[in-house]
Structure 1
Amino acid sequence: MLKSLFRHTVLAVAFAAASSSAYAAEEVYKLKLAETWGPNFPIFGDSVKNMVKMAEEMSNGRLQIRVDSSNKHKAPFGVFDMVKTGQYDLGHSASYYYKGKVPNTLYFTTMPFGMTAMEQHAWFQYGGGQELMDEVYAPHNLMAFPGGNTGVQMGGWFKKEINSVDDLQNLKMRIPGFAGEVLAKLGATPVNIPAGELYTSLERNTIDALEWVGPSLDLRMGFHKIAPYYYMGWHEPATELMFIANTKKMEALPADLQAILKVAMRKAAYDMYVHSYAESAKNWEIMKSEFPDVQVKTFPAEVITAIKKANDEILLEKAAEDEQAAKIIKSQQDYLKLVRVWTDISEYGYLESVAE
């Protein structure tokens, strides 16, 4: 018995050593990743670091990824093009930043009045969302994958209170994506500004208001020192970042390394959602206790009604103008109609039933 056990142990160790030697003899693949964020950017940048670490560990060192932050490549909103052309192999950014280049990319980050994070993840993986994203990105020599969710975002920091639709007239606000188009329809002026310039832009009155994320990231940015009104969200109920890969570079990797990279991306995306949720809970408590002058507001019903009407009108326009957009919009709306029934019964129903 002991001899047999010893023999099997020796064989197992020998096999592991041989496997390790075989891996060591195999080629090491070095990739470059460009991220939209600055160096050591919390939560967003952490998800990239986690992905890189997991990919290297699971590949036994055969996958090594160098990360260049925006201070290195100097193009925070240029990640799409840099990966497309092969200047970088991988990227981490947000899909809706590139609607000016490829309009139908904006649907894969989040949509106003749309799905929550869990609903959206279900749509990506089991409701056809990933396939539609593949369809949009494939012509550009790109593969795109969910890259981490912030959950429900807050509606933004405002220097002045919003009491009516008229208060949106000529309001210059940092707000990207579809929501920016919605506010523009109501008379506001949406702009997109890199994270590192947000505080200064608000402080110098370059903008009148901004939305960034939520307590997970907003508090450390110091916006509450300048803009005292913090509004509840409507525009980004589930903001999903993205990992992108140059298709030719991805397909040149051995099949096992392609699989490892995809698994690392998915795990890092999940970890970012959990991290963001935890930080929001912690920072909300800090904000309420240490900065009681912050006034948390809900947009008046009149304003939300006008925003929703504008949102629906733009969706109809985009669906009428573009067959691919129509397909994506219909897929999202159909899935939301299906999944929201269960969300109401399960999540909302639970919270309502145990509320004091």
Structure 2
Amino acid sequence: MKKTIQAIILLTFSISATANWFNDDKQKPTQQQEQKTYTLKLAETWPSNFPIFGDTPKKFKKLAETMSNGRLKIRIDSKNKHKAPFGIFDFVKSGQYDLGHSASYYWKGKDINTLFFTSMPFGMTTFEQHAWFEYGGGQELMDKVYAKYGLKSIIGGSSGNQMGGWFQKEINSIADLKGLKMRIPGFAGEIMAEVGAKPINISPGELYTALDRGTIDALEWIGPSLDLRMGFHKIAPYYYTGWHEPGSELQFLVNLKKYNSLPKDLQTILISAMKLSAYQMYDQSEHESAKNWATMKKDYPNIKIRTFPKPVFDALRAANDKLLKKLAASNPLSKEIIESQTNYLRKIRAWTAISDQAYLNSQSK
């Protein structure tokens, strides 16, 4: 119920934001603007017809075109067309594409501060992070990071709390992670490297083959919503609960030069359509995870659900704290973002503890 009410509020906000524009005489489009159509090209990291992630740009396209009464046209190219799943940042920056759909932490090699806006280990859950983006200064900090590249980043859909990954061998101690080749992106990959593992970033379409052939020993992908169809359980029976991405948020990337060339009403419609499709993705992810988890329990009872032992968690958290401290000391903007997230998490988690967490604890048997 809580999620439904929040979704309704967010939808109302998006609609009212667009409606307010129409009530502002200073922003009313000219007759010429009303007749002109704008075609925007979007490149996505995902392959054609990839569920949930790939559904989100399609929903955005439909919303933007409908809300603009056809004045916005969106063309979506999947990785099958552009052949560069990790090239979205450069595509949009250069203007080759006007828009992108991907994940911010893929760009840490270009700017370390981009990784904070997907999800951070031991960090905020999806709704906590959404509150930070909208009201806690998160969007403003994201603008500060991306503006220098002529880009704007908008939330692009959350997969929710992700599972810790599929392992071919059980993890009983921190020693079991040393030398382990694991597909794990973002800051979590840095943490794994700190404790002796070997993180590798591989595009979605290559994950099963890499695990099957021994190129990697373990991988994290999403959760039941998308993991079941990938078949990882056939070759890696240990399925670990999450710690590294408690609220993984994708992104819409926008070329600022193109965005600023649009009439004001279409700018509002564009952002509103992005946010609404992002919230829809979270609902879809939760639904599919619940459905697929039920299937996993029924049809694949040999999947072994595990949680890392406390000494492993302690080592991972210690590595996390060490790396954050080092990063904050070396980069003023990193320090600003880390402090913002840390302070907001402390504030909102106190509320989560006596609301959602207390409720769930009361229901446990």
TM interval, shorter chain, is over 0.9
1:276 aligns with 2:285: yes
* Alpha-carbon distance, 1:24 to partner: 9.9
Of the two, which has the highest radius of gyration?
1
CA distance in 2 between counterparts of 1:25 and 1:160 reads 61
Where in structure 2 are the equivalents of 1:106-255 lying within 5 Å?
106-255=115-264
1:331 aligns with 2:340: yes
Unaligned runs of at least 5 residues, structure 2: 1-30
TM-score, length-normalised on structure 2? 0.91
Letter in 1 for 2:216: I
Is this contact kept in 1: 2:183–2:216, CA < 8 A?
yes
Is this contact kept in 1: 2:88–2:101, CA < 8 A?
yes
Match of 2:95 in 1: 86
Where in structure 2 are the equivalents of 1:293-312 lying within 5 Å?
293-312=302-321
CA distance in 1 between counterparts of 2:222 and 2:168 reads 17
Match of 1:45 in 2: 54
CA distance in 1 between counterparts of 2:198 and 2:363 reads 42
Is this contact kept in 2: 1:143–1:246, CA < 8 A?
yes
Match of 2:362 in 1: 353
* Alpha-carbon distance, 1:352 to partner: 1.5
* Alpha-carbon distance, 1:207 to partner: 0.3
Match of 1:317 in 2: 326
Letter in 2 for 1:51: F
Match of 1:18 in 2: none
SS in 1 for 2:336: helix
CA distance in 2 between counterparts of 1:226 and 1:38 reads 23
Where in structure 2 are the equivalents of 1:5-16 lying within 5 Å?
none
Structure 1 pair 298–261 and aligned structure 2 pair: CA distance change class (3 A): same
Is this contact kept in 1: 2:34–2:71, CA < 8 A?
no
String of CA shifts for 1:108-161, please: whole Å, max 9, x gaps. 000000000000000000000000000000000000000000110000000011
CA distance in 2 between counterparts of 1:110 and 1:87 reads 28
CA distance in 1 between counterparts of 2:56 and 2:354 reads 32
CA distance in 2 between counterparts of 1:138 and 1:177 reads 21
Is this contact kept in 2: 1:23–1:60, CA < 8 A?
no
CA distance in 2 between counterparts of 1:274 and 1:63 reads 26
The percent identity for this pair of structures is 63
Match of 2:265 in 1: 256
Q: Structure 1 segments of 4 or more deviating over 4 A?
A: 22-25
Cα RMSD between the aligned structures?
1.2
Match of 2:40 in 1: 31
* Alpha-carbon distance, 1:25 to partner: 6.4
CA distance in 2 between counterparts of 1:308 and 1:25 reads 54
Unaligned runs of at least 5 residues, structure 1: 1-21
Count of equivalent residues: 336
Is this contact kept in 2: 1:89–1:246, CA < 8 A?
yes
